[in-house]
Amino acid sequence: MANQLTGTIRDINRKLFGGYAELLRIPHTARFAVGAVIACMPYPMVGMTITISVQHYYGNYSLAGALTAVQAISLAILAPILGRLVDKFGQRQVSIPTIAVWMVAATAMVTCITARVPAWVLFCIVPFMASIPPWGAMSRSRWTHLLRGDRERTNRAFSLSSVFDECMWVVGNPLASTLAVLSGIVAFSFTGVCVVIGALMFLTELSTEPPSQTRLAREAGMTRREYREREAARKLVLQAEAAADHARAQAERDDATPDEVQAAVDRAIADVRAGRKESIWSAGMLAVCVTWFSLGAFQSATGISIIAFATEQDMKQYTGFVFACFSFSSLVGALVYGAKNWTIPLWKRFYFCLTVVSVGLGSFLFADHLWKIMLIYLIIGVCQAPTWINGNQLMLHLVPPSRFTEGVAWMGAMNSIGSSAGSAIAGQFIDRMGSHGGFMVVTVLALASLAIAFVGFRQIKSSTEKPELTAINV
């Protein structure tokens, strides 16, 4: 009996972790994957540190929400620009000056908060806190480059990246709440050390860095513009072939005559050729980005509402652990999700996970104790990381690999814009109505998020029926 149990545990362990271990055994992958997670510590820590510190020194949730909103908007504006620059010029060339700006801004921000300077000074500094290299997108870009053409291992690598991301949130949230309550200086100092260590691990690993457009153009003996035009033409050919195949299959399923089949194919090819050659903004891309905007809105409103709720119950020191429960549950979800080679269509998985997260967070309105919120977080968290994994997988169908960093950055940017709106709105309602007002905002935004996602159902579903754009370098 004991041997059977041991064998069962060993089999489960092999199925769950064997694929991940295989990825990390690829030379140099563990270094950049772990380095990216360490360098990403500003994401879980900065927003919470600003919120707790500003509320402590200024006693105002509206100001805290507005500052985090400005930082999120700045991040939304800057992230796609940095992603595009990374794709053009290279990861090291863009990341090093970006880190230097963030370090100066973080030092200035914590100094000004503790000195209780006028609020307008904080608003002048906080946009520079968005000067964060797109570590997650750059890490996923490296995986895409290394595993090009291997769809199963690429999807597993995205799951592994999400597992590491959730580890960061599991550690970062309780640390941020604990250190920020003690001292904003300590919290920001710890974050700065993490940025330096993670950046050194990631940026000094050169063998896995995908070639930039500048390098690819130079190797082809072209200018970057000539190279982009050539690859855009290749993209158009690939999309036309995919559209023709899809139209032919659809017409044949409808029992069309040979002439009708050919007419459908010709129309599909003409529709592709009529589009803009160099734009990544397809209908599916727009639908995903708008969905990620609404997702960011209700999740950020949830964060500031939970902090207010815990403060009202004199349990503010436990807020980080509540968020950590959500992240831990999400980590487990990412592990299990990435270990399985799914046959369920991507669009079905996407909508199921999004629905669970939206309905779960909307139910916080009816919770009367912080531990009940923590329990709900534990239950719905298993769908959080898979939601993001599904979004990353959708990008493989929507943008070519050498613009993958830009595509993921746009998705993150829309999430940040939504976060800014959600935290700003929730802050206003919390100051007027307490945490209950904040949770009312969460519920409304969560339901709106689901509605927006289903409005874009046709575009998102059709995008998953297209082949991954892995043969082009636009």
φ/ψ of residue 313, rounded to 5: -90, 10
Domain that holds residue 144: 12-205+279-464
- Helices 283-312 and 457-464 sit at what angle, rounded to 10 degrees? 120
> Helix or strand or coil: residue 368?
coil
Query: What count of other Cβ atoms lies within 10 Å of the Cβ of residue 267?
Result: 13
Q: Cα–Cα distances in Å, from 285 out to 88, 334, 460?
A: 21, 23, 8
Distance CA 52, CA 308 (A): 10
Match 């613009």 to its residue by tokens: 403
- The CA distance from 304 to 395, in Å, is 30
**What is the structure's pLDDT at 217?**
72
Q: What number of CA atoms fall less than 13 Å from residue 278's CA on the CB side?
A: 7
**26, two tokens:** 């690829």
**Whether residue 439 sits in one domain with residue 296:** yes
Q: Both 292 and 435 in a single domain?
A: yes
Tell me the per-residue pLDDT of 174-212, one tens digit each, with 9 for 90 and over.
676 667 666 667 777 788 888 888 889 888 887 777 776
Q: In CATH, what number is assigned to the domain containing residue 369?
A: 1.20.1250.20
Neighbours of 226 (CB within 10 A): 12
pLDDT in tens, 60-73: 777 877 887 788 77
Q: In this structure, is residue 7 part of a structural domain?
A: no
Give the pLDDT score at 474: 38
Whether the per-residue pLDDT at 126 is higher than 80: the answer is yes
Whether 212 is in a domain gets the answer: no
Give the tokens for residue 33. Answer: 């994957």
User: Are both 331 and 228 inside the same structural domain?
Assistant: no
Calculate what percentage of the chain has a pLDDT beyond 70.
80
- Please give the model's pTM, rounded to 2 decimal places: 0.61
Domain count, the chain: 2
Which 8-state DSSP code applies to residue 363? Answer: G
Residue 257 has pLDDT above 50, yes or no: yes
Q: Are residues 380 and 445 in the same domain?
A: yes
- Alpha-carbon dihedral of residues 449, 450, 455, 458, nearest 10 degrees? 120
State how far Cα 303 lies from the chain centre: 17
* Judgement on whether residues 53 and 156 belong to the same structural domain of the protein: yes
Q: How confident is the model at residue 276 (pLDDT cuts 50, 70, 90)?
A: very low
